[in-house]
């Protein structure tokens, strides 16, 4: 069985503002004035610790955030802002339905922890479209290690050699390459220039293009 695995943040949904707001709340909770804004969307798609690091730097801190201490503060704040501003990119649901109708199994491999990822997809009304979900804490490793991608494919009962990864960053590109499967990167996010420089197997500028692009990969 062929499969298409998706990243979440910056690929299926624009989660940046909710993540930025959570980052500011977490920073303010430890006495650092929130300095993150909409222009930091690219950092947001890199995750909570990337936002915390940026906040520390802008505050002129010489130290760096400690994951075991500061990441839980971000996650707590993020749960309170999970879907306040997050929206699916246009055409996502129709594109996923199109892939399923064409016989592809579909799943998610994200570096967001599994529980908030699952809840967010439910709130967005698309969780049932995906047969698997592997998060940052599902396995001992996360992307760009290929193991989470393989696990997402395995949970679909699909062929490990007949999958591909749809993402938006160099992390997704490296993950697909490490797994030996094609990568499809979106060009509508803040990392569009980097995406072009990476020369992935395919790109899409809109989800209207997705099924046709996937078919051309001959998985």
pLDDT at residue 192 above 90? no
In eight-state DSSP terms, residue 205 is S
Mean pLDDT lowest among 47-56, 83-92, 124-133, 189-198: 189-198
Task: Report which of 135, 139, 143 is spatially closest to residue 117, judged by C-alpha positions.
Answer: 135
Asked if 163 and 218 touch (Cβ cutoff 8 Å), the reply is no
pLDDT band for position 203 (cuts 50, 70, 90): very high
* pLDDT of the residue at 196: 81
Average pLDDT over residues 187-201: 86
* pLDDT of the residue at 134: 98
Helix (H) or strand (E) holding 198, with range, is: helix 192-198
Does residue 7 carry a catalytic annotation?
A: yes
Which domains does the chain carry? 3-14+86-216 (3.40.50.1000), 16-79 (no CATH)
Asked if 172 and 164 touch (Cβ cutoff 8 Å), the reply is no
pLDDT band for position 190 (cuts 50, 70, 90): confident
- Kindly report whether the peptide bond that precedes residue 54 is cis, defined as omega within 30 degrees of 0: no
Six token digits for residue 191: 């990392």
Helix (H) or strand (E) holding 109, with range, is: strand 105-109
Q: Which of 7, 9, 168, 172 does the annotation list as catalytic?
A: 7
* pLDDT of the residue at 165: 98
β-sheet bridge partners, residue 134: 109
């Amino acid at each position: 069985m062929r499969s298409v695995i998706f990243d979440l943040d910056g690929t299926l949904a624009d989660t940046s503002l909710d993540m930025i707001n959570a980052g500011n709340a977490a920073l303010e909770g430890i006495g650092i004035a929130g300095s993150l804004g909409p222009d930091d969307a690219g950092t947001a798609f890199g995750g909570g610790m990337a936002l915390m690091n940026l906040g520390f730097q802008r505050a002129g801190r010489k130290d760096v955030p400690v994951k075991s201490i500061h990441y839980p503060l971000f996650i707590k704040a993020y749960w309170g802002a999970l879907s306040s501003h997050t929206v699916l990119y246009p055409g996502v649901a129709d594109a996923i339905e199109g892939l399923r109708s064409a016989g592809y199994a579909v799943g998610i491999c994200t570096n967001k922890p599994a529980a908030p990822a699952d809840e967010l997809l439910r709130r967005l009304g698309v969780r049932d479209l995906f047969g698997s979900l592997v998060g940052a804490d599902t396995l001992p490793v996360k992307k760009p290690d290929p193991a989470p991608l393989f696990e997402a494919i395995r949970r679909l009962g699909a062929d490990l050699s007949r999958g591909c990864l749809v993402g938006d960053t160099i992390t997704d590109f490296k993950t697909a390459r490490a797994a030996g499967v094609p990568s499809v990167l979106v060009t509508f996010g803040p990392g569009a220039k980097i995406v072009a420089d990476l020369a992935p197997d395919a790109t899409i500028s809109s989800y209207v293009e997705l099924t046709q692009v996937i078919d051309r990969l001959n998985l």
